[in-house]
Structure 1
Amino acid sequence: MLDQVLTALAASGGTAVVTAAGTDAWAGLRQAVARWFGRGDAQRERSELERLDQTEAALHASDPAEAERAHIRLEASWQARIEAVLESLSEGERDHRADQLRGLLAQYVPQGAAAAGPGGLAVGGNMDIRANGGSIAAGVIHGGVHAGPPAVPDSSQG
């Protein structure tokens, strides 16, 4: 079983794959992810490229009513695949491969980049979530978080 840091890394990888599909970042991320999974084996890398292409096709083929479910399902699938690779490695190799994955995510999901889809929002960097006027705000956080005190209403708000 992976620790929380590696599980969060795998989740970030799954999100990155699904979020990037069909965007300008897709070609580079697709190649990098296939290389990461391929581990120097050309046949395995080709298989991963096919699997990545199937992911992109599945996302584009889903109708709007099914898009969110497809997005969630595919993110979870890629997360599970990344976790399986990391779990299969010795501790030293796991650390090395985790560093490689962090590097490729940093390269293809730049800080400050954001992508929105029917299933949610992925942000590389900081994001501020606020709820005003009785609204509800929620977020899933993979990484650090800083929560400050709520804003004090001005006198016109009572």
Structure 2
Amino acid sequence: MDAELIALATTAGTAVAQAVGTDAWHGFRTAAARLFRRGHAPEAEQQTALVRLDRTATDLANAQPEAAGQARTDIAASWRTRFQDLLADAPATDLPEIADQLRALIALAEQARGAATAGDNSIVIGGDTQVTASNNSVAGVNVTMGNVTFGNPLPPGPANG
């Protein structure tokens, strides 16, 4: 297998690890499984890929927070091998099409990576945000990631609210 195809398989494996758990996962999962729709039993191969992708998502969701990074590394390696096997087993005439499909899959993951997601009791805000307190209320922010600049808010009161 040539270096470009190995690189595509490696990057596509990483793409699975990046896309799992994002809002784009459903579409990514469908596109990834479609890649495996080949051979003498294409529907069965696609279904097997869907089951593996679902197991991948479950495994990551069940990973302890401190183990999530290693879980993503393991996912990338596992799917890299699956994509390499797919390429190695494909007829040479199919390789350009498979390579194009892998590139499209990688692009889906890159789009997903750029999208922000939030967990339970959380929100995601893209861009500038202003938090204010008015009418004797309290404003609070808990930041766990990202760049946040706090100013000194004006105290609530009739002149400021």
Alignment of 1:49-88 (within 5 A): 49-88=50-89
Q: Give the superposition deviation at 1:104.
A: 3.2
Cα offsets for 1:72-103 (capped at 9, x unmatched): 11100000100011011232222221122213
Identity %: 39
Alignment of 1:7-156 (within 5 A): 7-39=6-38, 41-110=42-111, 113=114
Q: Secondary structure at the match of 2:5?
A: helix
Give ranges in structure 2 of 5+ residues lacking alignment: 117-161
Give the paired residue count.
Answer: 114
Alpha-carbon distance in 1 for matches of 2:83, 2:95: 11
Alpha-carbon distance in 2 for matches of 1:112, 1:25: 9
Alpha-carbon distance in 1 for matches of 2:69, 2:108: 26
Q: Which amino acid aligns with 1:33?
A: A
Q: CA RMSD in A?
A: 2.2
> CA contact under 8 A between 1:86 and 1:97: conserved in structure 2?
yes
Q: Give the superposition deviation at 1:112.
A: 8.7
Q: Give the superposition deviation at 1:10.
A: 0.7
Distance 1:31 1:112, change over 3 A: closer
Task: Output the TM-score relative to the length of structure 1.
Answer: 0.64
Give ranges in structure 1 of 5+ residues lacking alignment: 116-158
Q: Which amino acid aligns with 2:79?
A: W
Alpha-carbon distance in 2 for matches of 1:68, 1:106: 22
Task: Output the TM-score relative to the length of structure 2.
Answer: 0.63
Runs of at least 4 residues off by over 6 Å: none
Distance 1:106 1:67, change over 3 A: closer
Alpha-carbon distance in 1 for matches of 2:45, 2:104: 21
Cα offsets for 1:10-52 (capped at 9, x unmatched): 1111111111111111000000001111238222211111100
> CA contact under 8 A between 2:23 and 2:112: conserved in structure 1?
no
Who wins on radius of gyration, i.e. which is larger? 2
Structure with greater strand share of residues? 1
> CA contact under 8 A between 1:28 and 1:108: conserved in structure 2?
no
Q: Give the superposition deviation at 1:60.
A: 1.0
